[in-house]
Amino acid sequence: MTLAERFRDRSQENLSIRASALNLVVTAIIHWNTIYTGRVVDAVRNAGEAVPEHLLSSLSPLTWEHVSLTGDYLWEDKPAVEEKGFRAISFGL
């Protein structure tokens, strides 16, 4: 069976596997967004800016415009991470 045939196979089992894989991807994106949204809010507050609670209540970790799902990825040889293992948050206030 070729790769193309595997993706065209619409059997119940393969659809279930694809749905599970998609669920895993969506869950990872939501987790990433939740962690980094909290870090950005903390960074803004630490910079002395007020973050109104009514704006935070309308945030959602379900967006993924910043995620490329095309299969084209660029990896850094050594990603820039902070002491705690997170990528740096860069923004200008």
Give the start-to-end residue ranges of the domains of the chain.
11-93
Query: Mean pLDDT across the stretch 9-16?
Result: 80
Instruction: For residue 79, give every residue at least 6 positions away whose Cβ sits within 8 Å of its Cβ, in sequence order, or none.
Output: 87
- Dihedral, CA atoms, 72, 77, 81, 85, nearest 10 degrees? 90
CB of 59 closer than 8 Å to CB of 37: yes
Residue 8: pLDDT band (50, 70, 90) is low
Phi, psi angle pair for 83, to nearest 5°: -55, -35
**Each residue's pLDDT tens digit, 38-66:** 999 999 999 999 999 998 888 888 887 77
Give the whole-angstrom CA distance, residue 64 versus residue 61: 8
